[in-house]
Chain A
């Protein structure tokens, strides 16, 4: 906990309180909010300096990314907006072949948001940061009028040192490269959808939201020739594969029968007419690796809980950019396309 809070602030024991416009005004109310909720949670030397920004040492190549989080509802089975805001950015850094290190966090709070809710979100972020081994070293806070935001929005940006010996990017994908999928698909999207639409399911499907940095770093440390990494967020596996195929200028072929989808997720998707390949994930990625390294790569991935179900699902081939085909369960083939528009449940 920072000194300033210990010495000057009344204890932040007002969890029945709500966010007010004054909390974003730069005055005493804001200082109380920062000292009462944010600093104790994110506690680190950079924040303790109370400077306009953080100064960090960063030798060598650096990866830099940003993402904004606007998920509704703020809490859903298995995760919440705060955890997502940390893991999402951590995962984007890992996809660059980098070790995630420092994050910034910008908050847009809606007037009227209960402080207890804010505290839960911030505590989730702190827990996620601890788990991922990153520090939240700088931040910003704004308050907007009631009705102008959905409770709260978070932006995080992050930097990390690149540890991959060669660039990890679609440009390095070659025909013959194998596609590894880190685990089962669709849990995050279904968890959010059930919470948002208040669909009562017999069993709660929990989001897969997690940091995937540990298995990714382990792949690189083991010397696996990783050509490309991509996390499977909005648009799901299908969109990720089409994007990589487009940028790489090679086609991809996958085997639908080898793609793990949990039974309850599968049933939910059947009911609503959704394709699990299009549903969002928050703790899944594909690794494109050189063919000789496949067995080793799968072995490394399976040592980590977040990727214990890793499996090879297909490969890249000479062919048109953006063309991804799947052999269907009954042995015929179909084109896999990226999701167009939003996912809409069908009539019947």
Chain B
């Protein structure tokens, strides 16, 4: 048996989902008894059969991935409840095994998978998708690149009509149907980092709090920037017009084109729009959201 063929065979077995009792399945994906499959390439010893030796790796694989996934998506878990979340995790990880050298990227395909597999999210699919988007944005914002911040002198002599402002790569812009930012913050407050010592009664109380918070959550569209300040990730609610401008800037549009039409259908009175724009740009600049241009800006 060549190295590649052995590795394919073992990986297929290791990545086969466990039974509900968290043991290795009796049948391999091709329908053959797993006992026979294991015996074909793994030696037994005086204490363990080939099946049992392979099972150690099968269980380790699923325990590691399921726990890593749960750490990344506590909000989705709170929305779905433990049992549903467990089923969803296993279905997702079976459909989308890791294709990255790092476990950080385990949840990168969750949003798209949820959209094409709505049954795993149950009746509140849109809420689950929103939460998955927010939690993935949080992961991206945490360790994405930060470019040098734009300074006033970088803009000296620049024609405002041609100006293109780049947003910091770590900023994630989200348009969401539900106010999941509040829910996620509540979930995080509810789950201390080291919850191992918490009593069962305390855990039950927490669980009830989370269930109640989810039940209360009604659709209410929000626009959000997931960003960083001093290496910590924050959620900042945006007005719809702010969001529209930032999204256009992210798309590479010039300042003029980004602001043009951003107030279409807006409830902001005409006489307050200039003031609003000035205030938003002031805030974004103060937060360091604009990067220093990498290429020389066209001068007038």
Q: Do A and B make up one complex? A: no
